Amino acid sequence: MSSRCEDVSEGGMRLSTLQRLDLGMNLTLDFKLDDSMDSITAKAKVVWQDNRDNAYYPFAVGLKFFKINSADSKKIHDYVNKMLCKENPADTTKTSN
């Protein structure tokens, strides 16, 4: 199945897909968060789906992980934290009163 990950968290992910997936459908996923990482394997359930105004990926689906090992969950946790730090770097400047 061709798809693109739009968002990921320790609890699941949002995908854009070429085909509609049925609610409640179970999937086995094998994916990388970036090219430098090892693959992550998880089992997930389709918990929502929606049509999109996108000719290439016309469907969006929400997946909830129901089986993922702790090492892979930690990879996701660390990746999300790294991305959040890039988007919102801590302000280390000091202001004087």
pLDDT tens-digit readout, 67-79? 999 999 999 999 9
Residue range 60-87: mean pLDDT, rounded: 91
pLDDT tens-digit readout, 4-19? 888 999 999 999 999 9
Which one-letter DSSP state was computed for residue 80?
H
pLDDT at 90: 59
Which one-letter DSSP state was computed for residue 88?
S
Is the pTM of the predicted complex or chain greater than 0.75?
yes
Q: Is a pLDDT exceeding 70 seen at residue 23?
A: yes
C-alpha pair distances (Å), 78 with each of 19, 68, 70: 30, 15, 12
Superfamily of 3-87 according to CATH: predicted glycosyltransferase like domains (2.40.10.220)
